Amino acid sequence: MNASLPTPVKIQHAADFGKVAVLMGGLSAEREISLKSGRAVLQALLHKGIDAHELDVDQQVLKKLEQGGYGRCFNILHGRGGEDGVIQGALEVVGMPYTGSGVLGSALGMDKLRTKRIWAASGLPTPEYVVLSQEEDLQRAIEQIGFPMMVKPVHEGSSIGMTKVLAAAQLGDAWRKAAAFDPEVVAERWIHGSEYTVSILGQQVLPMIRLETPREFYDFEAKYTEDTTRYLCPCGLPEEKERHLQQLSLQAFAAVGASGWGRVDLMLDTEERPWFIEVNTVPGMTDHSLVPMAARVAGISFENLVWHILETSFR
């Protein structure tokens, strides 16, 4: 399978972007992270001379865009309503250009279950899983996957609602915790090994980052509040191995229809085999975030990174 992503348009002058709404906040469980990301993006756009404005998204967002005379949107909404095709579809209806993936890529990328099904059908390795819909599914997960396993809501980001389950006595609580966020829940085989992330910007794959945390896994606290997480970039893999994984990640990104910019998360097991975990089509842009980290190693400043992301609004 060959990765096929659109060639980004290059913009030379800030005025060519017109008036830009930075869509942030929203109503999802990731609202506070989105606000933090959005304000960092806004400041960077302003420093580049772009006519950018903060827009905290609510049900009146389309009306506000029209009344404000905006020409395009920088979408930095995380989670439901902003990363799942909903805002993308609304913007398509009114003809408003926006950054990142389109409706299909956003919807699939946010849906961990259907992402896994597409990857499996495309020959891309992803851990075995069981859908947890009712009590009877818990025993099936124990029999098919075993312990440890990861239980997660299908449509949440930032590791919200996720639990590493070590024994049968924990499984029911983990399922109910995930189901509190989403009626669709999956149990996934735990991969013993190292965690990596691959950032994508247009057709460029940025240097891989290896993630190391003393916590059970790279959870919400490890991502946003803890100072004990280590980010290794360069990631320490042999150059040929990293290039191979970058190309596979590009294929995984394109397979779900994602485009523009984003991130692919994967594991390498103890035998150095890759396992793809999920896609992020609107990754974080905070001081703990991974895409800016990888961009910096590639020689791209935060301000130039947001400029390049804004270029993805030209299709």
Q: What is the CATH number of the domain that holds 183?
A: 3.30.1490.20
Rounded CA separation 11/92 (Å): 22
Rounded CA separation 249/197 (Å): 9
Rounded CA separation 135/140 (Å): 9
| Model pLDDT, residue 219 | 53
Last residue of a domain, one of 189, 217, 238: 189
Residues 170 and 244 in one domain: no
Residues 60 and 119 in one domain: no
Last residue of a domain, one of 138, 160, 189: 189
1 domain-assigned: no
| Model pLDDT, residue 1 | 39
Rounded CA separation 83/99 (Å): 11
Rounded CA separation 19/135 (Å): 52
| Model pLDDT, residue 288 | 77
Catalytic machinery residues: 30, 158, 224, 263, 265, 278, 280, 284
Q: How many domains does the chain have?
A: 3
Residue 174 burial (10 A CB sphere; 0-12, 13-18, 19+): buried
Residues 114 and 242 in one domain: yes
What string of pLDDT tens digits covers the 315 residues of the chain? 345 566 778 999 999 999 999 999 998 888 999 999 999 999 999 999 999 999 999 999 999 999 999 999 999 999 889 999 999 999 999 999 999 999 999 999 999 999 999 999 999 999 999 999 998 999 999 999 999 999 999 987 656 889 999 999 999 999 999 999 989 999 999 999 999 999 999 999 999 999 997 666 555 554 555 677 899 999 999 999 999 999 999 999 999 999 999 999 999 999 999 999 999 999 999 877 999 999 999 999 999 999 999 999 997
User: Cβ of 249: how many Cβ atoms within 10 Å?
Assistant: 26
4 domain-assigned: no
Residues 233 and 248 in one domain: yes
8 domain-assigned: no
Place of tokens 């970039």: 233
Q: Which domain holds residue 243?
A: 109-124+192-311
Residues 114 and 165 in one domain: no
| Model pLDDT, residue 2 | 44
Residues 266 and 145 in one domain: no
The answer to whether the beta carbons of residues 278 and 263 sit under 8 Å apart is: no
Residues 146 and 177 in one domain: yes
Rounded CA separation 92/69 (Å): 16
Last residue of a domain, one of 172, 189, 206: 189
66 domain-assigned: yes
The answer to whether the beta carbons of residues 274 and 235 sit under 8 Å apart is: no
Residues 230 and 275 in one domain: yes
